[in-house]
Structure 1
Amino acid sequence: MKLSYLILLTIASVAFFYIQLWDDKIVTPLYFSLLALNLFFAAYTKNINMAHITGFILIIVGANRLVFETGLINDVTPSNNLLLQGLLIYGTSFLFSLALALILIFRVQLSRILSSSKNIELTHFDGIFHWIFIYMALVNLIAMAEYIGWSYFEMKSWRFIYNNFEAFIYIGWALSCGALLTMMICSSKDNRRDEVGAL
C-alpha cells in the first residue's frame, strides 16, 4: 500500500473515531495528550521534523486555549457589548489558527532558523497540517461574520456555522489527531527501515 493511501486511511479512521466522542471534557485532554505523546516520541526517536511540527502546534494551540481558560477574553470584554464579545472571541481564535497555518507553511525555514540540524527537511505532513489550520481559521472567520450579522445587523438566519461551531472545530481537531497519529506510525516505520538497512 502506498504511503499516501496509508496516511489518508489512518487520518480518516482516527478522525471518525475522534468525532464520535463529541465532548469537550474528553476531546481537549485527548488532543493535548496526543500532542505531548508525539513530542515525546519525536524526542525519543530524534526526529527533529516531527518534533518541530508537533511543538509549533502544541505551543500555539496551547496558548489559544490558555487565553480562553484564564478568562482573559472575558476580562477585557464588556458584558453588555455583544458585538465586541463576538469579535474578540472568534477574532482571537481566527488569529491563532491563521498564525499557526502560516508557521506550518514556513515550517522548514523556521526549523532551520531554530536548529542547525542537517536532518531538517520537507515531510509529507508539512503538506497536511497547514490545511487543517487554514480550515480552522476559515471556520472562525465565518463564525465571526455570522455573529456580526446576527448581533449587529439582526440577520437571524445567519447562524449555520455559529450554531454548529463546536462540531466544525472538533472535525479540525479530529483531522489533526489523525495526522499526528499517522506521523508517529510513519516515523516508526522509517526508523525500522533504517535499522534494517544498517544491518
Structure 2
Amino acid sequence: MDDLLHDIRACRLCADRFAATETAHAPRPVLRAAPSARLLIAGQAPGLKVHQSGLPFTDPSGDRLRDWLGLDSATFYDETRVAIVPMGFCFPGYRKGSDLPPPPICARTWRAQVMAALPDVRLTLLIGGYAQKWHLGIKTGVTDTVTRWRDFSPDAIPLPHPSWRNTAWLKRNPWFEADLLPVLRTRVAEVLA
C-alpha cells in the first residue's frame, strides 16, 4: 500500500488538463488509506479547499458528512480505520464557477489497484453519482440510487454529496434524515467497533 500511495501522490496524468482550467493549478492527489481500513468513503474529487489543505473533507461538506456518520474528526481521519478514496484524486478545477467532474483516467488508472489493497473494508459509502456508478455498476441518477439505498446495504450505502448545494435536496427528501441516517450511523459504528 505504501508504494501504491507514493505512486498515486506522484501522479501527473492530468497536469495539462488542470493547467488549462480557470484555477490553472498543478495536480495534488488527496486520499487516505491503509490496508486495515474497515470503512471506505468513495467521493467524487477534492474541492479547492481540500486541494489547498491536502486533507480530505476539510470544508463545510466534511463537517456535514462527519455529522451524518456520527464521527468525530479523530476517528474520521484515522486512516487505519477509515479510507477516503475519491474517484478523482485531484481537484479537477472550475468551469464557469462550477467544479469540473473527476477525470475518468484517474479511476481507470488507479481504482482497481486501490480497491485490491483494501481487503478489510466492510462498508463503502458512495458519495455522488460518479462513485455510485463505478462501484455499483448502475446508470441511475443520484436521487434514484440513494432512494434505493436498502438494495445495496449492508455492504454499501449511496449518499448525496454533503455540499451546501444539496441543502434543497435534503429538504425535498426528508426520508434521508429520518430513515437513512439512523441506519448509516449504526452501520458505521458497527464497522468501526
TM-score between both structures, scaled by the size of structure 2? 0.26
Greater share of helix residues, 1 or 2?
Answer: 1
TM-score between both structures, scaled by the size of structure 1? 0.26
Q: For the pair shown, which has the larger CA radius of gyration, 1 or 2? A: 1
Greater share of strand residues, 1 or 2?
Answer: 2
